[in-house]
Structure 1
Amino acid sequence: MNAVQAGSIHAPRGAGDAGSHAGVTMRAATYRRFGGPEVVRVEEVPKPSPRRDEVLIRVHASTLSAADRRARSRTVPAGMQVLSALALGAFRPRRRILGMDIAGVVEATGPGVSKFRVGDEVVAMLGAKFGGHADYVTVRQDGPITAKPRGMNFAEAVTLVFGGLPAQAFLARAAVEPGRTVLINGASGAVGTAAVQLAKHRGAHVAAVCSGGKSGLLTSLGADRVIDYTAEDFTAGGQTYDVIMDCVGNAPFSRVASSLNPGGALLLVIADLKGMLQAPGNSRRSGKLVTAGDLKLNYTAEDLAALVRLAEDGRYQAVIDRTYPLAEIVQAHRYVDTGVKRGNVIVQVATESPNRGTF
């Protein structure tokens, strides 16, 4: 998974800021230094208040993603250390509250807000501004925020955001159409499970690469073929594809070029600095599209609404591995650190009814 930018989102602000309620606090999972799960703790921090064109959202659920893990530990792809220091902080975290997405309820609106009302149930992408692992967060009304899918609870709804938005954006770059062959490397994660569903929705023949124990999940999501990477190298059998999406970071162009059909596309959701810098040249020389993670992606409300419509039509399933209350955020980080999660790990911030239709 890649950390994505959404420049119009604002995370909770610090004490003394004009945008916070003086003396009013909320719970938040914070970290003040980089490291393992134990650096995260739940504490009271100032509660934000909405500024002009912002809404204040009572967070019900967020995901704890591989991107949160990378931000917490400063474990990034090769060559990205300097860029990550600029984005995350050189010596201590710039953003003390992780969580790149939220599902919740609008509690208050700032002056000038016309798109949302108090009581609206919404989902939103916070991106690299973070802030979702807290009771409240403020979001610009013109940012990537839209109504929560009808028929999904908050935990299910938030799975559309971090996984669905990048999967949708990358597949759009390759113009996936009916009959095309698409391979998803790392198909069992948040982005991968979304990509399998979205590629199948577009009419593609989908091959999913994951460990063998996850084959049932991927088949249920629409994969036509599941490749167990512990037993088979998908590049070694001579099979070729129109599109390869790499959600792991171990399928650079040099490895998969011969597995791409003429005019095919390699979508590098995860890439090191070398892979990102070489992508344009590899595209020109090969005639195959090579596109790497774009840190300037700006998702829109309509991008998110498109996923909501699919969910409401029954064409997008929530994939939830485990759910942890905010009080158990350290245990949640420890589980994500194992690298074995299927789909999404949910941080339940506010109490709601149990999850439905999950895996």
Structure 2
Amino acid sequence: MTEVDTARMTAWVAPRYGGGEVLRTEVVPRPVPGERDVIVRVRAASLCSGDLHLLNGTPYLLRLGFGLRRPKHRMIGQNLAGEVVAVGIKVSEFQLGDRVFGEVPSGAFAEFVRADVQSFALVPDDMEMETAAAIPDSGMTALQGLRDIGKVGPGHRVLINGASGGVGTFAVQIAKALGAHVTAVCGTRHLDMVHDIGADIVIDYTTTDFITTGDTYDVIFDLAGNRKLRDCRRALTPNGTFISSAGAPGGNWFGPIRWLGSVLITNLFTRQTLKPLLMRPTTTDLRYLAELATTGALRPVIQRRLPLSEAAAAISLFAEGHASGKTLLTGWPAR
């Protein structure tokens, strides 16, 4: 019988910037906890757009903080669920064996991950690990956009542009949970799915332009970045709120930065509220989303499931776009 090296683990690493093709698995030192850290055995993980940006290093301005020539943090992945296997000496929030989920800066696509205790929340007893792993980034982005910026409440008319993607599928359900009337914009092949998760009206963008219907909305949550700001403002009520979590394409150097700048500047000269969204992970929001899921108000939509051993292929598929919910990675085999 082969002896297991408990001081090392398998992880996906990115030795240089690129796509899924640059990734490789390596045996690396298993992390040890700092005073306020927990070590989690990864049982499931999911992909988010941030994984792609950090992997390919675009827009290039990102590299000022994340490595000029190659990624500063070689291990990738941000969203996961798993079991606590070690805690720092100042951690009292979790115990060994607790099931947790959350978003970490990097390293989730590995057998074990280390992160600050505030990165995680408990997985409810009746929730599967895979369900929990699909929630963090997309769920918190949708929640903070609609609840915190949009102030969405009962009776509000909300339009979600890009409703079939990872964030969009959460946004439809969260807007409904907050009491809104939801109009969702997506492509033809996603119409039934978006309607099934709760949208009151579903618009097929290949046949209908939501700008020209004459309807106006209290909140527009833009996840597609495919419409000019002035066009979106026409579909807003005079005191409505436009939330951008995408940004128009701006090239490899600046990406959506110019777009986000125009949103902020225009906001200074209108009664409407126009704001970009930069999600901040919080334990409180993870708990709120877990509660929504346990009550049945929130159900992650899973487009595909692959084992973590196929993370490189999963990222290549994810980079093709046109997502229908989340891409989920199941854990490494036990050893």
- What TM-score results when the alignment is normalised by the length of structure 1? 0.85
Alignment equivalent of 1:155, drawn from 104, 123, 130: 130
C-alpha distance in structure 2 between counterparts of 1:137 and 1:313, whole Å: 29
The residue aligned with 2:102 is: 124
The residue aligned with 2:69 is: 91
The residue aligned with 1:324 is: 306
The residue aligned with 1:239 is: 215
CA contact (8 A) 1:208 1:227 kept: yes
The letter of the residue matching 1:121 is R
Alignment equivalent of 1:308, drawn from 290, 294, 301: 290
Tell me the SS of whatever aligns to 1:235: helix
The letter of the residue matching 1:346 is L
Whether 1:340 aligns to 2:322 is yes
Tell me the SS of whatever aligns to 1:49: coil
The residue aligned with 1:56 is: 39
Unaligned runs of 5+ in 1: 1-21, 353-359
Alignment equivalent of 1:27, drawn from 10, 33, 42: 10
The residue aligned with 2:21 is: 38
| CA displacement, residues 202-222 of structure 1 (integer Å, 9 cap, x when unaligned) | 111111111111111111110
C-alpha distance in structure 1 between counterparts of 2:25 and 2:89, whole Å: 31
Whether 1:72 aligns to 2:55 is yes
Post-superposition shift, 1:140? Answer: 1.5
In structure 2, do the counterparts of structure 1 residues 351 and 216 end up closer, same or farther at CA, with 3 Å as the change threshold?
Answer: farther
Post-superposition shift, 1:252? Answer: 4.2
The residue aligned with 2:112 is: 136
| CA displacement, residues 159-211 of structure 1 (integer Å, 9 cap, x when unaligned) | 22111001101112111011111111111111111100000111111111111
The letter of the residue matching 1:166 is T
Post-superposition shift, 1:351? Answer: 5.1
Tell me the SS of whatever aligns to 1:105: strand
Alignment equivalent of 2:239, drawn from 239, 260, 263: 263
| CA displacement, residues 76-109 of structure 1 (integer Å, 9 cap, x when unaligned) | 4xxxx32x11233221111112211110000011
CA contact (8 A) 2:309 2:332 kept: no
Tell me the SS of whatever aligns to 2:202: strand
The residue aligned with 1:299 is: 281
In structure 2, do the counterparts of structure 1 residues 87 and 210 end up closer, same or farther at CA, with 3 Å as the change threshold?
Answer: farther
Identity %: 34
Alignment equivalent of 2:269, drawn from 277, 281, 285: 285
The residue aligned with 2:250 is: none
**Correspondence list, 1:101-116, <5 A:** 101-116=79-94
C-alpha distance in structure 2 between counterparts of 1:233 and 1:96, whole Å: 42
The residue aligned with 1:217 is: 193
C-alpha distance in structure 1 between counterparts of 2:224 and 2:58, whole Å: 14
Unaligned runs of 5+ in 2: 248-255
How many residues were matched structurally?
A: 321
Alignment equivalent of 2:30, drawn from 33, 47, 51: 47
Post-superposition shift, 1:275? Answer: 2.3
The residue aligned with 1:9 is: none
The letter of the residue matching 1:306 is Y
Post-superposition shift, 1:237? Answer: 2.1
What is the root-mean-square deviation of aligned Cα atoms in Å? 1.7
Post-superposition shift, 1:350? Answer: 3.5
In structure 2, do the counterparts of structure 1 residues 87 and 189 end up closer, same or farther at CA, with 3 Å as the change threshold?
Answer: farther
Post-superposition shift, 1:52? Answer: 0.5
C-alpha distance in structure 2 between counterparts of 1:310 and 1:34, whole Å: 37
Runs of 4 or more, structure 1, over 3 Å off, are none
The residue aligned with 1:3 is: none
Tell me the SS of whatever aligns to 1:193: helix
C-alpha distance in structure 2 between counterparts of 1:342 and 1:43, whole Å: 31
C-alpha distance in structure 1 between counterparts of 2:163 and 2:124, whole Å: 24
Deviates further, 225-234 or 158-167: 225-234
The letter of the residue matching 1:154 is M
Whether 1:275 aligns to 2:253 is no
C-alpha distance in structure 2 between counterparts of 1:242 and 1:36, whole Å: 38
Post-superposition shift, 1:36? Answer: 2.4
C-alpha distance in structure 1 between counterparts of 2:167 and 2:229, whole Å: 20
Post-superposition shift, 1:282? Answer: 1.6
Tell me the SS of whatever aligns to 1:48: coil
